[in-house]
Structure 1
Amino acid sequence: MNRWNKDGQHVIYTAESRALCALELLAHTNGVVPAGNYKTMVIEIPETEIKELSVEELPKNWKSVKAYPQLQRIGARWYEEGKQLLLRVPSALIPTEFNYVINTKHPAFKNVSIASLESFFWDYRL
């Protein structure tokens, strides 16, 4: 189940840093270090208008799974309106850091490009 979109809405979840991306992945795999070779995809996004959501705009329980239906409605509305390519949302793990949701149906999506692919090393202590 996705936090910020409903089924059938094609989005890409990204993080503002490699560290946050790794933490989000660990959280979504129940703390089990993913097996296999991983890559970090660094993407370039053209200057674009961003819809930003602050913690103050979200339901009080926004970090919980119980809030998913409300958050999906917020994300679905942004997706359907199609005004912005990016939705900036606070991370439920570190609310002062941000994840970005990319609307693949937005006209500017065609200008998103892969800048580089980097090997990602999972530290054995994780």
Structure 2
Amino acid sequence: MILWRISVHPELDGTGGLLAPGRWHTQGSRVVYCAPNPATSLVEVLVHIEIESDDLPDPLQYREIEAPDDVSTENVDLDALGRNWQTDLEATRRAGDEWLRSGRTALFRVPSVIVPETWNVLINPRHREGAQVRILRVHRHGIDPRLLR
């Protein structure tokens, strides 16, 4: 499976999750968020940006990540989250934190809140199979300023 991530962090060690909470975890948890393609990766970043295009890093660093097909993966149980999971941060964070604590799988497949027909993958860097997930290449691209209008 090929995954994508836009990040200035050169490693997949989950440091960002220690510093800030996300949709699927509370602050203090090592976790790495990825998307199935560069476009979804960009949309997932842009939704959180409240800065001018001149303040963005240029170029952005798109990390192409490989997770072998046999790495353990779990799909989130949307039924357990409830009907309004998109707006219920407590429910999504609880599900992600429980997955991280359990150590059941290296990857956790979750829907994108922005585009629910696509998905994101969380990597648990502390899982024994987490070391099999690796960065293949770093692609550097500028951002089209029309996306920030």
Please, what TM-score do these two structures have when normalized by structure 1? 0.88
The residue that corresponds to 2:36 in the other structure is 16
Residue identity in the other structure for 2:108: L
RCO higher in 1 or 2 (8 Å CA, sep ≥ 6)? 1
1:115 matches 2:131: no
Query: Cα distance, 1:32 vs. partner?
Result: 5.0
What do residues 57-108 of structure 1 show as CA deviations (whole Å, max 9, x unaligned)? 43222222xx111111111111111111010000001101010110111011
1:96 matches 2:110: no
What's the secondary structure of 1:72's corresponding residue? helix
Task: Name the CA distance, whole Å, in 1 between partners of 2:141 and 2:79.
Answer: 34
- Are the counterparts in 1 of residues 106 and 129 from structure 2 also a CA contact under 8 Å? yes
Task: Name the CA distance, whole Å, in 2 between partners of 1:51 and 1:32.
Answer: 37
The percent of aligned pairs where both chains have the same amino acid is 28
The residue that corresponds to 2:81 in the other structure is 58
Task: Name the CA distance, whole Å, in 2 between partners of 1:68 and 1:77.
Answer: 14
> RMSD in angstroms over aligned alpha carbons?
1.7
- Are the counterparts in 2 of residues 55 and 95 from structure 1 also a CA contact under 8 Å? no
- Are the counterparts in 2 of residues 26 and 32 from structure 1 also a CA contact under 8 Å? no
**Structure 1 alignment gaps of length 5 or more:** none
**Structure 2 alignment gaps of length 5 or more:** 1-20
Please, what TM-score do these two structures have when normalized by structure 2? 0.76
Residue identity in the other structure for 2:66: E
